[in-house]
Amino acid sequence: QSTLQMTATHSNYTDPNKLKFEEIKILGLFQEIGSVSVSQNNVAQDYVSNITYDSVRKVAVIRGLQLELGKSYTIKWTEKSNDNERFDCHPSPDATKEKCEQLGCTWEESKNPGVPSCYYSSSNPYSAENVTYSSSGIVANLKLDSSMVRANDPNTAPISTLRLEVKYHLNHMLQFKIYDYQNPRYEVPVPLNLPSSPQSSSQDRLYSVSLQTKPFGIQVRRKSTGTVIWNSALPTFTFSDMFIQISTRLPSQYIYGFGESEHPTFRHNMNWHTWGMFTRDQPPGYKLNSYGFHPYYMALEEDGNAHGVLLLNSNAMDVTFQPTPALTYRTIGGILDFYMVLGPTPELVAQEYTEMIGRPVMPAYWSLGFQLCRYGYANDSEVAQLVEEMKAAQIPYDVQYTDIDYMERNLDFTLSPHFAGLPALVNKIKAEGMRFILILDPAISGNETSYPAFDRGVAQNVFIQRPDTKEILYTKVLSREEYLNLSVVDAQFVFSKFGAYCALPDFFRNSTVEWWKREIMEVYDNSNHSKSIKFDGLWTDMNEPAVFINGAMGGCRNDLLNNPPYMPYLGSRSAGLIHKSPCMEGQHYLPDGTPARHYDVHNLYGWSQSRANLEALQEATKERGIVVTRSTYPSSGKWAGHWLGDNTAAWDQLHKSVIGMMEFSLFGFSYTGADICGFFQDSEYELCARWMQLGAFYPYSRNHNGKGAR
């Protein structure tokens, strides 16, 4: 309960005009007022008060009072416990009353499921200073009030001074960026298509931007309707080295996007749901972070106008939706770099977003036809027989694949003796008008007696390294599938004991891209022509990057990076960030030579490989071709298409494939599809028949299933 004490210092004064206070305005109130009581000399006064509350401005007004001048009063009010206005102060799963209060937050359990028990009860500790407005944007410093800092781990202690830059790039697009201008931090090295200088005008801009200086907040308003589409004047904002958080109120409940995760509906459920994002070898599953990383959403406002918001950040993160409606971002590195496009129609939002990140790749015409693949072809004779049986059954199809079966012990750029006739078979089906797509995984075996691709890679220094010794960061994959059938409980034991040492190419390096192209060219144009595979497209799997042990051989050496102070809401929280992934301290080198931690660029791995794949494909074939990738990031779509991964032969997966494709359309991918009839498990006749009917309308229409499945 809050109290306002009004004391008359000259209580014997009687106002001849009988002036009265009839209204009290309370600023900075985070909850709506539930009840008001007024007393004079401990005697309750009977007033019928009218209370209004502006949740955007945090202002409450109490009207209907009759407080006479010259008299003393005590006004008390209680704030409504509005679950929707609670912003989670302890998002980790082990919240307790003691831990909550140590953070300076309020603990109050709710009867409603999903509502946080630990929530912020005060404003955020930053204020905007030295604000400069110009025709092209706003610049301000954000200063931390140290007296308001909550107890934190040293690695999540807020940075004292930040810089805010708002840029009005175009009439329909703006950027707002928050960063530490005194100490350089990692920023995403993905180029966007932005004007060299802002090209908007105040009269034509679709938006207006205002700052709340204390506590700090940004407000973006659509000028034509007055709708506030972003408002971050909320208590959650904090910016530290390994924990950055910001919340915004949303203009409606109609939010779409964020991925890659399996969502049961296209429109997000705003009832206290959190989604993690971190690329991982994870088949589709509810609330499980999967292959791609897309911190982007499109919102429909109540009047049907639309806008899109991208957070250009590549560190592990999660987002929480609540029915306020509001959205909270939490990321564990980098900076906050937001881009907003104003539409105003959903179609224009898609056009404006892809104008910024890059238009989707134009696939070859033939790649729009039906395609056939499976994991587990025994030899090239089986593939040849399949082609003939498809022709005999008069089933039209345009593209044939082989999975990793064609390789010698799953080694990239090799040909198994069981598939010695594959090059001739590819030439034959191409002469008949068909096309062929080849699979490549990024991991390169490192414990072969002689493996030219690895040897040349070592010579050209193309692999991810340990930062302290500059040695190759070796992890493991399986080179012989029979080990997958071993009956043991601990898969990590199997993989570490029987797996092959492997090195992961660092595709940020220009030297790696050139090495990768050379290896692909040798597959296409081998000096032994009988081994030249004249493929038409490339399919990349396992490029999250995925490995078969957690971390690396010899262990990881930086526990802080692999088990950060805040672990986002990921499917592998208990295992840290290294679940089926390499160590986070692994060192990359950006094209300009700047070192980068795997911790920062893990989610860009598939993005960096897709460009190399497309360039290699087109240099080899001299045709447009197509690249299909499993791991993606904003702008990957300008180089590659995407399939939705290792799904299951189940009716719900058929339904959810449509949702996944619609989401990737938002993300800038036109060439998408799911494994028709399902990858895992046997498919029922009715399910497969219906899925083939649906799959005919997938832009990427491929029937693909797993080893041993029917």
* Placement of tokens 């982007």 in the chain: 296
| Domain boundaries for CATH 3.20.20.80 within the chain | 365-643
| Nearest residue to 220 via CA among 180, 167, 181, 256 | 167
In sequence order, which residues have a C-beta less than 8 Å from that of residue 328 and are 6 or more positions away? 87, 88, 236, 245, 246, 247, 319, 320, 322
**What token pair was written down for 276?**
């993690």
User: What does CATH list as the number for 122-345?
Assistant: 2.60.40.1760
In sequence order, which residues have a C-beta less than 8 Å from that of residue 427 and are 6 or more positions away? 534
Q: Which of 100-114, 280-294, 463-477, 489-503 has the lowest mean pLDDT?
A: 489-503
The SS3 of residue 114 is coil
User: What does CATH list as the number for 365-643?
Assistant: 3.20.20.80
| Mean pLDDT across 237-261 | 98
Residue with the bigger pLDDT between 220 and 73: it is 220
Are 594 and 607 in contact, with CB atoms under 8 Å apart? no
| Domain boundaries for CATH 2.60.40.1760 within the chain | 122-345
| Nearest residue to 296 via CA among 280, 317, 282, 281 | 317
| Mean pLDDT across 506-516 | 98
Question: Topology of domain 2-80, per CATH?
Answer: Immunoglobulin-like (2.60.40)
In sequence order, which residues have a C-beta less than 8 Å from that of residue 190 and are 6 or more positions away? 312, 314, 604, 607, 633, 634, 635
Residue 64: pLDDT over 60: yes
Share of the chain above pLDDT 70, in %: 96
Residue 557: pLDDT over 90: yes
Are 500 and 447 in contact, with CB atoms under 8 Å apart? yes
| Mean pLDDT across 66-73 | 87
- Return the bridge partners of 675, or none: 702
Tell the burial category of 86 from Cβ atoms under 10 Å away from its Cβ (0-12, 13-18, 19+): buried
pLDDT band at 483 (very low <50, low <70, confident <90, very high): very low
Mean pLDDT of the chain: 94
**What token pair was written down for 105?**
């937050």
Q: What is the model's pLDDT at position 497? A: 63
pLDDT band at 2 (very low <50, low <70, confident <90, very high): confident
* Placement of tokens 């029917």 in the chain: 710
Q: How far apart are CA 664 and CA 357, in angstroms?
A: 14
| Domain boundaries for CATH 2.60.40.1180 within the chain | 2-80
| Nearest residue to 143 via CA among 124, 120, 118, 156 | 124
What secondary structure letter does DSSP report for 335? -
| Mean pLDDT across 274-300 | 98
What does R_g of the chain's alpha carbons equal in angstroms?
A: 29
- What length does the chain have? 710
Q: What is the model's pLDDT at position 491? A: 60
| Mean pLDDT across 496-500 | 70
**pLDDT tens digits, residue range 179-224?**
999 999 999 999 999 999 999 999 999 999 999 999 999 999 999 9
Q: How far apart are CA 263 and CA 659, in angstroms?
A: 7
